[in-house]
Structure 1
Amino acid sequence: MAKKHEHKKKPQEHEEVKQENQEIDIEALQKQNEELQKKLEECLRAYAKCENDKKILKKETDAMVDYAYEKFAKDLLPVVDSLELAIAHANELENKEEAFDKLVEGVELTLKKMLDTFKNHGIEPVEHEEFNPEYHQAIQHVQSDEHEEGDIVDVYQKGYTLKGKLIRPSMVTINKK
């Protein structure tokens, strides 16, 4: 048993070594803590910048949405002008039959102008060559010897696409034998 006690360090020596290790650890920890504090500050700054950028992007996006229709609206103003002129001109004519003819002519020209404006903005009418349930809504079935089974017989309301995406289906009557 005497040998076992010889290998043991004296309690006082053990405390000194422990204290030295603690001092080294404290210094290392303080240095690590300072580095972590710097990195935390960098992260907080980066987070604040991201939040500010997010607010700026939202504000810009909101402004873009608010004014997205500006060009379209400006392009429609001549259509409104044409309708107003057609009505004013028709009211000036004393011969009501002539006024009616002129009004119809003005409305036709205005419709053409409107459809041209639509086309310039990617709004196209749906084609009606053959029934397609993706673009047509069958609202009625009729029997017609002049048409093949499933053919479109009549179009009640035109459908339109916006840059290829359907925004309103055509309402049609189809032949059912």
Structure 2
Amino acid sequence: MIETDSRVTARTSYRWLRPAAVAASLLLLGYGVLRLIDGFDGHRDKSGWAWLTGHSLFLLGIVLFAVVIVELRGLLLVTSPRQKTLTDVAAGAGLVGAAGFVWVILGDLFPRFADAVPPPDLVLLGGPALFELGLLTLLIRAVVVRLLPVWAPVLVLAGFGAIAVNLDLLPIGAALVFGGLLPLRPSALRRAA
């Protein structure tokens, strides 16, 4: 009876996983495009519409990536509860990293916030790494339990790598992340259940 209940849960829950993944990737792409537009004249204007809109898209994208992390954690715990500790640690790392991103973006958008609550250097250095490591670990776990194809986390890693090499590669990196997250869909849940 308990196994049947978890299968029902797997079929009916996690409906936000794929829409959040797709939307987060597209928002990241929008941020990248606006960042390029903002830099066409050779400098970035922190009070210009492209910069402000781009950072707002980035903020929303990171919040949606946090939704992906939470949804993916729940799905993995339903489909493969044996690795609960690893799944929880990866999700926790990803969420801490996402919170670090949000802190920094809010500081960029609202200078008074940055002055009142400056982020520690650890957040600036460790936040992105924790976010990426946590999300990638969850995606690899999804490959192991056959919820994703093997190439999906490879594309996400390549996308993060492109962004780390040069922020002007954000649109390419976002497109790679989009491709890697696109297979997250309800049909995968039905196969797993």
Per the normalisation by structure 1, the TM-score is 0.30
Greater helix content: 2
Per the normalisation by structure 2, the TM-score is 0.28
Greater strand content: 1
